[in-house]
Structure 1
Amino acid sequence: MSKVKPNRFEAERIKKLEKIQSLGLDPWGQRFDGHTPIAEARTQAPEESGVDGEEVRIAGRIMLRRKAGKLRFYDIKDWTGKIQLLFSRGDLTEAQWELMGTLDLGDLIGIDGYLRRTETGEISVFVKELTVLCKSLAQPPEKHHSVKDVELLLRQRSLDLIYTEGVLEKMLQRSQIIDSVRQTLRNHKFAEVETPMLHAVAGGAAARPFITHHNTLDIQLYMRIALELHLKRLMVGGIERVYEIGRVFRNEGIDATHNPEFTMIEVYQAYGNYETMMDLTEDIVTDAIKTISDTMVLPWGEDNTIDFSGPWERKKYYDLVKEHAGCDPNDPAAVAEVAKQQGIDTENVHPDVVLNEVFEATCEEHLTGPVFVIDYPASICPLTKRKKDDPNIAERFELFVHGMELANAYTELNDPLLQEELFKTQLSGLSDEDSMAKMDTDFIKALKVGMPPAGGLGIGIDRLVMLLTNSHSIRDVIYFPLLRPEGQPAPPE
């Protein structure tokens, strides 16, 4: 069986790899202890130029290189920052100078040297010893500092992280944000749990699941579309403050704010309600902002900002429809007329579903926020407790920021008889073969044991990261977004 012939760039790099081996060195590197992150090393540089500073050991990837007589300048970066290296012919042994000649852009190297500022004030490491830590066989993208092939970068995310300015920093901010969410919930005495990703019944949301098959049990299973029903079981079992950050899967569309596989957090607090969840949501988001920013006013797009300073506005759903749709939300005929103007189908559609589509079409774009939209039609909220003085209104809120829904929360329904009735209503009309037409009877059994009154909250982590890092596509904040296989044509419309 013949081997794949390397291209000329790879062939040249393999020659240099063999040269490293001929010098008795390992081109793939070994353990390299005691190195300092580059950002920390930079803080140790002397203030004056031309003065030798502390000795330092660093490691990173070669990003740039240039010659100046007997001097060689390299820029390397790690996940904390960049720094310039200066190789002087007089400072290195013959073997070390020869080893330097085997280096290419993209190689990972370790450096022992001393810090110094050049005459131009550039913080640099004057190299005393070079260690090869990994020879890169791949040619960097052309003009890597301004790579524009988005498809290439998403398919080869490692290139994007290395060569696109700001991507690595943004993804590390994602980790900081998630860690902050956990810390806020720890401060509020919540317990983190893990619940199953494979469900016998696709429940907790109105969404189409991914379907799989378990061979041993010979049963059909569903990738979870929500975290809710298992977390509520745990509340029944006595975990009064519970949350999970986990992957959720919905076999639906892909656009700027939707990916079939995404990260959610769901939180449940016994003896709370949706107002409790508003306060908690504000704490979660503002604490996350504090970990990545010195101000509560964050940029959005090129010209806009978002002021997350509290307290956030609270506006009623029905008031917003009156204001922006220009009709009485309690008048189905008037709502239907607006729906037709918006191109919304109303035939054989429940009036409250039509009302919600009118809300989405006419109101959401005006919700620059952050704003809590509260008190939704009860008929579209089957897991939500009704208001005492009006059973047609559900104690639910959605948090909007610049027209994007960021969080969804309820005063949770804990009446098992009403819950069972609402599930039946929700599922009526669906065929038996429909994967969403099955009631989770085990959940109803758990409710009958007794679930405390509670507030529940769901936040899309990917959307939260989008908003806090000024990203306008969910693909920008997910390490590996789902893509059509390379070369596969788009399905016919």
Structure 2
Amino acid sequence: MEDSNANLPEINHANTHDLFAVRKAKLDALRAAGSDPFSQNWKPDCTSEAAKKLFETEGEGKEVSVAGRILVFRVMGKASFVKIQDRDGIIQLYFSRDDLPEGLYNSHFKKMLDVGDIIGAKGKLFLTKAGEITIRVSEYALVSKGMRALPEKWHGLTDSEQIYRQRYLDLIVNPDSRKRFKMRSRIISEIRKFLTSRDFLEVETPTLQGVAGGAAAKPFITHFNALDCDFFMRISPELFLKRMLVGGFDRVFEIGKNFRNEGIDRKHNPEFTMLEVYEAYSDYKGMMKLVYELVQHLCKTVVGSTTITRFDGVKIELGGEWRTVDYKDLIIEKTGDKDWFKRSKSEKMDACRKLGLNVEETWEDYEVTQEVYSKLIEPFLIQPTFVTHIAKELCPLAKINKEDPDVIDVFELCINGQEIAPAYSEQNDPFIQRDMFEAQVGEEIQKLDNNFLEALEYGMPPAGGMGIGIDRLIILLTGAANIRDVILFPSLRPEVQ
């Protein structure tokens, strides 16, 4: 490494702008000396954690090469300690004047490096008197100069929107966020392994769709220039995945983005990740078994426990047997009225108002009942609960129950006060499916997909299907408080430039 004895100008360090100027002066001095950090590279041969494991197996003296961002920079007299962070964690480096080429310690190390810089370092492992595994640096290089100062711990960024907008800073200085997003990646990877090990085939279906179908939601609309017509960002891949069942692919799944042009809150983001899985010759009960075993697998391989501690300290137990309860029984229990489903709509509305709910005259009967469920029941289902047999109007894609034609063969898996996974015995009768679709189209809930109905007419095997909100599942498994905490770059209003 080239020596640099450049004299830096005296600059007021009172504010961030001046700190930027100090770092810019150091960069100019490096370039004047013929050393541009942005043109250099470094080849690490291990990560911080791998280096520590090498020490544990081989002891002192093993030479390693690492690279990372400086988080701690304690400059002393003839020797100093630096801590760098890489993708695995943090490791300490020991810099000594006697271990580096003559003059480099004083002229470059002490003058040119700052917290936030990215460096490569090579040296031998040893244990400090304090018992910390450390690298005694014999060679190093500054490979990227950090021009802006990092916040001094996370309280340096107190605006939550700034945290989401500048996620890169969050990942640098907040270990909990780094851990959470690593867990997210592992969870999705393990879902894929779990399903493929059971002979499910991962497929990809269109994100841009000519008909916004598969769910009742408001879509994002875009214009397809090449075809000169409007398309929709998908709200669900369901109708395309069922076409795969028609085509003879009996077990399929897709993990991908869905888009719904609706509200933003702690449970909802307009762009979100979904798993949808379909299995021919199964039903909603088969999906119950599948989701239970999937969650147990994730608890074992990623979380390490079936007991989840929520952000507020509440414990959720995912092991053991999960509760199964009928939707109607929950409504009767909450309202205290065993004859609820025999009542007129007006009687139900009066009862809702006494329960403190706002209901509107224009609502359908089933919507009045659903308001009881969504406001007074679902938010309090903290422990895992399969809620079965909901009103048929709530989902036109499921089979109608043989014993009770007012409900469908479905479950909604609720955990942590929110729906994690809905699943159905899929409707494969093309005539009933058309009737159900047309009833919804009449209410302007979703458009009729005639191509899908035509596919059903060729014959779709009986099947179970399920969707899992990946973001909500990760909220659950990581104990996060908000959907924005598990999405790397959540939807935000663009900044005014």
Q: Where on the TM-score scale, by shorter chain, does this alignment land: which range? A: over 0.9
Q: Encode CA deviations 1:119-171: one digit per residue, 9 max, x unaligned.
A: 11122111111112211112212445764232222111111110123111110
1:181 and 2:194 matched:
no
The alignment's TM-score, normalised by the length of structure 2, stands at 0.92
Match of 1:88 in 2: 96
TM superposition shift of 1:427: 1.2
2:63 to 50, 55, 68: 55
Match of 1:361 in 2: 375
1:468 to 477, 486, 494: 477
TM superposition shift of 1:24: 3.4
Describe how 1:26-175 pairs up with structure 2 within 5 A: 26-45=36-55, 52-94=60-102, 96-97=104-105, 98-100=107-109, 101-144=111-154, 147-175=157-185
Please say if residues 413 and 420 of structure 2, whose CA atoms lie closer than 8 Å, have aligned partners that are also in contact. yes
Amino acid paired to 1:416: P
Q: How many angstroms apart in 2 are the aligned matches of 1:37 and 1:211?
A: 45
Please say if residues 325 and 359 of structure 1, whose CA atoms lie closer than 8 Å, have aligned partners that are also in contact. no
TM superposition shift of 1:336: 2.6
Q: How many angstroms apart in 1 are the aligned matches of 2:276 and 2:374?
A: 23
Match of 2:350 in 1: 337
Which stretch shows the higher mean deviation, 137-146 or 190-199?
137-146
1:351 to 365, 375, 378: 365
Describe how 1:4-43 pairs up with structure 2 within 5 A: 7-43=17-53
* CA spacing shift, 1:47–1:201, aligned 2, 3 Å: closer
1:441 and 2:450 matched:
yes
Amino acid paired to 1:485: P
Please say if residues 325 and 362 of structure 1, whose CA atoms lie closer than 8 Å, have aligned partners that are also in contact. no
Describe how 1:55-454 pairs up with structure 2 within 5 A: 55-94=63-102, 96-97=104-105, 98-100=107-109, 101-144=111-154, 147-328=157-338, 329-333=340-344, 334-341=347-354, 342-430=356-444, 437-454=446-463
Amino acid paired to 1:479: L
TM superposition shift of 1:47: 9.4
RMSD over aligned Cα atoms: 1.9
Q: Encode CA deviations 1:31-65: one digit per residue, 9 max, x unaligned.
A: 433421101111223699xx843111111100011
Please say if residues 335 and 354 of structure 1, whose CA atoms lie closer than 8 Å, have aligned partners that are also in contact. yes
Q: How many angstroms apart in 2 are the aligned matches of 1:286 and 1:31?
A: 43
Amino acid paired to 1:364: E
TM superposition shift of 1:255: 0.2
Q: How many angstroms apart in 2 are the aligned matches of 1:301 and 1:140?
A: 26
TM superposition shift of 1:326: 1.7
Amino acid paired to 2:64: V
Amino acid paired to 1:65: F
Which stretch shows the higher mean deviation, 69-78 or 176-185?
69-78
Q: How many angstroms apart in 2 are the aligned matches of 1:145 and 1:346?
A: 45
Which stretch shows the higher mean deviation, 308-317 or 192-201?
308-317
Q: Encode CA deviations 1:424-459: one digit per residue, 9 max, x unaligned.
A: 1111143xxxxx552110000001011100000000
Amino acid paired to 1:336: M
Amino acid paired to 2:456: L
Q: How many angstroms apart in 2 are the aligned matches of 1:469 and 1:449?
A: 44
What is the percent sequence identity of the aligned residues? Answer: 43
Please say if residues 72 and 86 of structure 1, whose CA atoms lie closer than 8 Å, have aligned partners that are also in contact. yes
* CA spacing shift, 1:429–1:379, aligned 2, 3 Å: closer
Q: How many angstroms apart in 2 are the aligned matches of 1:366 and 1:302?
A: 15
Can you give the 5+ residue segments of structure 2 that lack an aligned partner in the other structure? 1-15
TM superposition shift of 1:22: 3.9
Q: How many angstroms apart in 2 are the aligned matches of 1:448 and 1:143?
A: 61
Amino acid paired to 1:360: S
Paired residues in the alignment total 476
Can you give the 5+ residue segments of structure 1 that lack an aligned partner in the other structure? 1-5, 431-435, 489-493
The alignment's TM-score, normalised by the length of structure 1, stands at 0.92
Q: Encode CA deviations 1:292-323: one digit per residue, 9 max, x unaligned.
A: 22221111123211111133111111111111
* CA spacing shift, 1:474–1:115, aligned 2, 3 Å: same
Please say if residues 217 and 446 of structure 2, whose CA atoms lie closer than 8 Å, have aligned partners that are also in contact. no
Amino acid paired to 1:373: V
TM superposition shift of 1:348: 2.7
For the residue of structure 1 that corresponds to 2:409, the secondary structure is: strand
Please say if residues 340 and 346 of structure 1, whose CA atoms lie closer than 8 Å, have aligned partners that are also in contact. no
For the residue of structure 2 that corresponds to 1:85, the secondary structure is: strand
TM superposition shift of 1:487: 4.2
Amino acid paired to 2:100: L
Amino acid paired to 2:160: V
Q: How many angstroms apart in 2 are the aligned matches of 1:144 and 1:482?
A: 22
Please say if residues 411 and 424 of structure 2, whose CA atoms lie closer than 8 Å, have aligned partners that are also in contact. yes
Amino acid paired to 1:94: E
TM superposition shift of 1:289: 1.9
Please say if residues 338 and 358 of structure 1, whose CA atoms lie closer than 8 Å, have aligned partners that are also in contact. no
Q: How many angstroms apart in 2 are the aligned matches of 1:249 and 1:413?
A: 24
Please say if residues 110 and 132 of structure 1, whose CA atoms lie closer than 8 Å, have aligned partners that are also in contact. yes
